[in-house]
Amino acid sequence: MRALRREDYSMPPKTLPKYELRARRHGPGNTELEVWQLPSSATPQIKAPIRLAGLRGRNYELVEHRVLRRLKEVGVRVDILPIEGLGSILNEEIALRLALLFRTLAPMRSRDAMRLVAEGIDEMGKEEAAYWLGMSVHRKNPRRVLTSLRILLTDPKRK
């Protein structure tokens, strides 16, 4: 039996999907964050990186503190990501939540509804977030799935 080395603990398992956070700056105070799924042995059908979701502008500014708090927990700093180029690797749970949050909030305009949706996604478990993201990515009509999620999360009878 061989002893485990430090590198063995720090490397992510090869059986998990790989995700990356990319940041683009379109001007002062106008940052766009995108979540990408990268090819890995866990997802052999993916041959090139796939953009899962992105958010910028007013909608990003409304949830920026939530996003930065989550990223800080996993050691990702948006302010030092390159302007164009490689991003930062994310673990599966953070990537699922961010992609779902970005996809759900992108077309919204109501600040109160956006706050409720962001809180609801924060409260979701990993499996529930994965379910909703999978439905919104792989369904024939992803807009309907996201509309359903928005309705469920902004329902006043929810709690």
Task: Report pLDDT digits (tens) over 78-136.
Answer: 777 666 656 888 999 999 999 999 999 999 999 999 999 999 999 999 999 999 999 99
Residue that the structure tokens 């948006």 belong to? 78
| Amino acid 84: pLDDT | 63
Edge-to-edge strand ranges of the sheet holding 88-90: 50-56, 31-38, 18-25, 88-90
Q: For 12-63, write each residue's pLDDT tens digit.
A: 567 788 999 998 888 777 888 999 999 988 888 989 999 999 999 899 999 9
Residue showing tokens 């992510």 = 12
Of 142, 140, 70, 139, which is closest to residue 103 (Cα–Cα)?
Answer: 142
**Angstrom distance (rounded) from CA 72 to CA 138:** 30
Residues constituting the chain: 159
Answer yes or no: are the C-beta atoms of 115 and 82 closer than 8 Å.
no
Supply the pLDDT for residue 27. 77
Q: Which residues on adjacent β-strands are paired with residue 21? A: 35, 88
User: For residue 81, what are the contacts with CB-CB under 8 A and spacing of at least 6?
Assistant: 21, 22, 23, 87, 88
Strand locations in the chain (E): 18-25, 31-38, 50-56, 88-90
- Note the pLDDT of residue 15: 78
Which two three-digit tokens encode residue 103?
Answer: 């996809």
Q: What are the DSSP E strand ranges found in 82-149?
A: 88-90
The helix/strand/coil state of 151 is helix
